[in-house]
């Protein structure tokens, strides 16, 4: 007779994840998949329900849907960031790059567009937990002003890239891509998150755009030091 395994059987140190999504089918699927990979899971169908459960429980990370009726995931994430630096992985069906940038500006640690491969969610969740808990004290939620990589300085708000104080010309797409990579603070960014809003934002187009950016920031674009490919995921910007 098979033995029924429950969350009570998980080790005490198992991370506790709050899944917030108004889609019951997806919510149940994520809860089951996370549990099978060793996570404790609490699920909520709305921001209001999530807030109520958060009043009595401490979570190690949130998997948060953007498009929910009433209070959106963006609204809830903003409220969370007023008092907490708990890692947030946002889920969304939106393809507008401005929405992806909004999520990162609010303070989300990563962004995964729907539909997604559940194994990718597990990898991304593990990455943000490792970065947040393995890197000492959490960073403040103040807006990111600039990032440095090698001789380059990218001022995020201005979208301005300089090398040793010399301005480097960027196209709008290159500026947008570099902004998304910078806001990830060295973390992995999915190819989908770097795609443009148009239908031209396919994999081949993204590769061409990344190669153009590399030619401006890499001594050897074929062996990039700063704009690196993350196999099976996307890209990351290696910061100082």
Strand, helix or coil for residue 166: strand
- Quote the pLDDT of residue 82: 86
Total domains, the chain:
2
- Quote the pLDDT of residue 10: 60
Could you tell me if residue 140 is inside a domain? Answer: no
In terms of residue numbers, what domain contains 170?
A: 146-237
Q: CATH number of the domain that 113 lies in?
A: 3.40.50.2300
Q: How far is CA 196 from the centre of its chain?
A: 17
Final residue of a structural domain among 114, 134, 154: 134
User: What is the spatial order of strands in the sheet that 189-190 belongs to?
Assistant: 189-190, 234-237, 227-230
How many whole angstroms separate alpha carbon 237 and alpha carbon 240? 10
Examine the domain organization and report whether 168 and 231 are in the same domain.
Answer: yes
Could you tell me if residue 60 is inside a domain? Answer: yes
Examine the domain organization and report whether 27 and 123 are in the same domain.
Answer: yes
DSSP secondary structure code for residue 223 in this structure: S
Examine the domain organization and report whether 84 and 117 are in the same domain.
Answer: yes
Close Cβ partners of 240 (under 8 Å, ≥ 6 residues apart) = 148, 149, 150
Per-block average pLDDT, block size 10, for the chain (240 residues)? 50 84 91 87 94 89 91 90 89 70 81 80 84 48 71 87 91 85 80 55 74 93 92 85
**What Rg do the C-alpha atoms of the chain give, in angstroms?**
19
Final residue of a structural domain among 111, 134, 157: 134
Examine the domain organization and report whether 11 and 126 are in the same domain.
Answer: yes
What is the token pair recorded at 57?
């429980």
How many whole angstroms separate alpha carbon 203 and alpha carbon 32? 31
Give the pLDDT confidence of 163-207 residue by residue, as tens digits: 988 999 988 888 888 888 887 778 887 776 676 533 344 567 788
Examine the domain organization and report whether 13 and 130 are in the same domain.
Answer: yes
Q: CATH number of the domain that 204 lies in?
A: 1.10.10.10
Could you tell me if residue 181 is inside a domain? Answer: yes
Examine the domain organization and report whether 113 and 220 are in the same domain.
Answer: no
Examine the domain organization and report whether 48 and 118 are in the same domain.
Answer: yes
- Quote the pLDDT of residue 7: 61
């Amino acid at each position: 007779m098979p033995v029924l395994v429950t969350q009570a059987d998980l080790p005490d140190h198992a991370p506790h994840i709050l899944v917030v999504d108004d889609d019951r089918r997806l919510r149940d699927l994520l809860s089951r998949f996370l549990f099978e990979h060793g996570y404790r899971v609490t699920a909520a169908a709305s921001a209001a329900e999530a807030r109520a459960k958060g009043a009595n429980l401490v979570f190690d990370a949130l998997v948060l849907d953007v498009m929910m009726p009433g209070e959106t995931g963006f609204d809830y994430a903003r409220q969370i960031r007023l008092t907490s630096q708990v890692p947030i992985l946002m889920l969304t069906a939106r393809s507008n790059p401005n929405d992806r940038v909004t999520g990162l500006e609010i303070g989300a640690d990563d962004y995964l567009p729907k539909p997604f491969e559940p194994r990718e969610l597990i990898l991304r969740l593990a990455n943000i937990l490792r970065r947040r808990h393995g890197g000492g004290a959490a960073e403040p939620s103040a807006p990111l002003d600039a990032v440095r990589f090698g001789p380059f300085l990218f001022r995020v708000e201005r979208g301005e890239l300089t090398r040793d104080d010399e301005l480097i010309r960027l196209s709008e797409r290159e500026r947008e891509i570099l902004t998304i990579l910078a806001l990830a603070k060295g973390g992995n960014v999915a190819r989908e998150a770097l795609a443009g809003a148009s239908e031209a934002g396919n994999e081949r187009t993204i590769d061409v755009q990344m190669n153009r950016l590399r030619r401006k920031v890499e001594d050897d674009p074929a062996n990039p030091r700063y704009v690196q490919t993350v196999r099976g995921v996307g890209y990351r910007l290696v910061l100082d």
